[in-house]
Amino acid sequence: TPMVPSPTPIEHPPHLASWYASKKPPAPDSPWLKNNPIPTRVVLGQEINGARVVTLNRPRQLNGINDRVVYLLAQLLEKWEQDDDAKLVIFKGAGRAFSAGGDLKMFYEGRSSDDSCLEVVYRMYWLCYHIHTYKKTTVALVNGLVMGGGAAMVAPLKFAVVTEKTVFATPEASVGLHTDCSFSYIHSRLPGYLGEYLALTGARLNAKEMIAAGLATHFVHSEKLEDLEKQLLNLNTGDESAVRAVIEEFSTDVQLDQESILNKLSTIDKCFSAETVEEILKALDSEVSVDGNQWIAPVLKSMRRSSPTGLKITLRSVREGRKQSLQECLKKEFGLTMNILRSVITGDVYEGIRALSIDKDNAPKWSPATVEEVKNEDIDRVFEPFTSGHELQVPSDDSNRWSGKHEHTVYAKSSQ
């Protein structure tokens, strides 16, 4: 019997609920539809046997994460975790990307409104905690680009399947942001100082490198991915050994390419273990002329084009992450992101997004312009913790696991 996916009923955000309640879908060839396109379901939820499938569905935007995506994702994951019939949850993306991460244009458009992006930032970091600690077996099928917040739906999962088309990066520092969405926790736990390297350079890893670094678990050729998904949907169990056995039927053991950056870990550790961004740049400068270190020149170029403030915030955050719990990392990251978006010490984030995504001139004018000009006391201000009522409310134990939602915080009350 062919399986027919049944869409999960979704409660829409308040600002869209009335639209969905009042509208009946017009005929596909309706003239009205051409002028009034129906909002796309940006997250699709399917229930098939014991499997639950969540599909990020903004392919034209490379499945960028916005307020609606986060709201609907959290709703589905909470529902499924509490559903005894749900055994296995599969994450995937529509189109040629899994997810390129946070929607930068959303941040840019909110630059002149006080805390216009606070809700989506809060909900995303709160959701990151629940993805890391999810109670059902999870599988990510990653066939394409996966960056930043998108990778926060991959690296923490029990199984992360990547293909020859997968490309990973955390490039936030380059636009004046910081390595967020739990990556100050994830990167600080990678081998040696690889996390600092990835966070400060925005360097890309391929699928083989993701597996070697511990950011993914299995390599499957893209033409086999659909068959793997069908097998998982037929499994009707969340038993980890059973899920692993199915994935391993399709997976291939892979070896790093000879020129892989992961074969340069000794040099990475030597340079990126330095205490400050200035010292890291100095160490790279001293290594660039050594035989076999041709890879360093583009790394230096990339770092010197990045926001000096973003680099300093990012390094400190990853370093602190080495000694912090997941909850502590997420609370810190929430405060950092809000202080950056509030331009507490610089408006670099908006200048970085402008240069990359709006005007696309790739010529940002940073303030301050060099890492030497960034004052330590300014970085201290960005890291000042929020008061207990204003910090991210992540649960301390499983007894109130899904508490702390944005709508129950001081932020929601103050906006009413």
95 is annotated as an active-site residue: no
Q: Which of 47, 67, 180, 348 is catalytic?
A: 180
Output the furthest CA–CA distance in the chain (Å, rounded).
68
Residue 102 among the catalytic residues: yes
**Residues 315, 183: Cα–Cα separation, whole Å:** 12
Task: Spot the catalytic one: 47, 103, 119, 172.
Answer: 172
The single residue of 50, 64, 102, 238 carrying the catalytic annotation is 102
* Cross-strand pairs, 167: 145, 206
* C-alpha–C-alpha distance, residues 283 and 264, integer Å: 14
Q: Cα(160)–Cα(217) distance, rounded to whole angstroms?
A: 5
Residue 55, number of CB atoms within 10 A of its CB: 19
Catalytic residue among 50, 93, 144, 149: 149
Q: How far apart are the C-alpha atoms of 334 and 74, rounded to whole Å?
A: 17
Task: State the alpha helices, DSSP H only, in 58-147.
Answer: 67-81, 104-109, 118-132
To the query of whether residue 148 is one of the catalytic residues in this protein, the response is no
414 to each of 118, 390, 411, how far by Cα in Å?
A: 12, 11, 5
Q: How far is CA 119 from CA 188, 253, 365, 404, 405, in A?
A: 27, 42, 29, 13, 10
Q: Which helix or strand (DSSP H or E) is residue 250 part of?
A: helix 240-250
Euclidean distance between CA atoms 118 and 128, whole angstroms: 15
Q: Return the ∠ at Cα 406 (arms to 401 and 407), rounded to 5°.
A: 105
Cα-Cα-Cα-Cα dihedral sign, residues 395, 398, 399, 403: positive
Taking the C-alpha atoms of residue 131 and residue 150, their distance in angstroms, rounded to an integer, is 12
Annotated active-site positions, please?
Answer: 102, 149, 172, 180
